[in-house]
Amino acid sequence: VGKGTFIGTRPVEELSTIAAVAGQTNPSEVMRARLLIEPLLTGEAALQATTEDIEEMHRCLSGARRAESWRQYENWDNRLHRAVAEAARNVVLLSLFDSLNAIRRTVVWGRLRDQPAQPPTDHHSFGDHEAIVAAIEERDVEEATRAMRRHLTKVEQRLLLRREAA
């Protein structure tokens, strides 16, 4: 009080809604955040996953391969990433993942695909996802972390290439 009016960026506390955060970010920032959080969650999943968690991950892998549209594929992809986050067995990290995922879905990504109506049988994420789940199933924390980091790095690179081409 009495020090006047200050102009600057809004503190994070004021960004209480997903929409508010999404309105101030971009796909590149979202990918960087994913690269910081999801590999760590995957390492935790390698330590904590139950048999049921791993079975759910395999259902997601199978569903993604059977997807008849990009929308179906993206639903299975999202479900797999959440299954990994749930398998970490950490409510705080799961909450962070859910917030980040909600922001990711809210950010306008644009129509990034000029591909066929469904993922091709050799879509890069299929192998990436299988490597992630295999490392979790083998309880290999380091490889699980690396596999998720490799996957998200590829996604980030493809996203940035498409944005530059647009």
**Average pLDDT over every residue of 141-165:** 88
For 44-110, the DSSP string reads HHHHH--HHHHHHHHHHHHHHHH-SSHHHHHHHHHHHHHHHHHHT--HHHHHHHHHHHHHHHHS---
The per-residue pLDDT for 117 is 83
Query: What gap in Å lies between CA 63 and CA 57, rounded to an integer?
Result: 10
pLDDT, tens digit, 9 for 90 and up, residues 72-114: 999 999 999 999 999 999 999 999 999 999 998 887 554 455 5
Specify the 3-state DSSP secondary structure of 135: helix
Provide the whole-model pTM: 0.84
Nearest CA among 162, 74, 59 for reference residue 125? 74
Return the CA Rg of the chain: 18
- The answer to which of 14-28, 40-54, 63-77, 106-120 has the lowest mean pLDDT is 106-120
pLDDT value at residue 83: 98
pLDDT of the residue at 93: 96
Structure tokens at 39: 């590999």
Dihedral pair phi/psi, residue 9, rounded to 5°: -75, 155
Which is higher by pLDDT, 20 or 90?
Answer: 90
155, burial (CB in 10 Å: exposed 0-12, middle 13-18, buried 19+): middle
- What is the spatial distance between Cα 69 and Cα 86, in angstroms, rounded to a whole number? 26
Is residue 14 over pLDDT 50? Answer: no
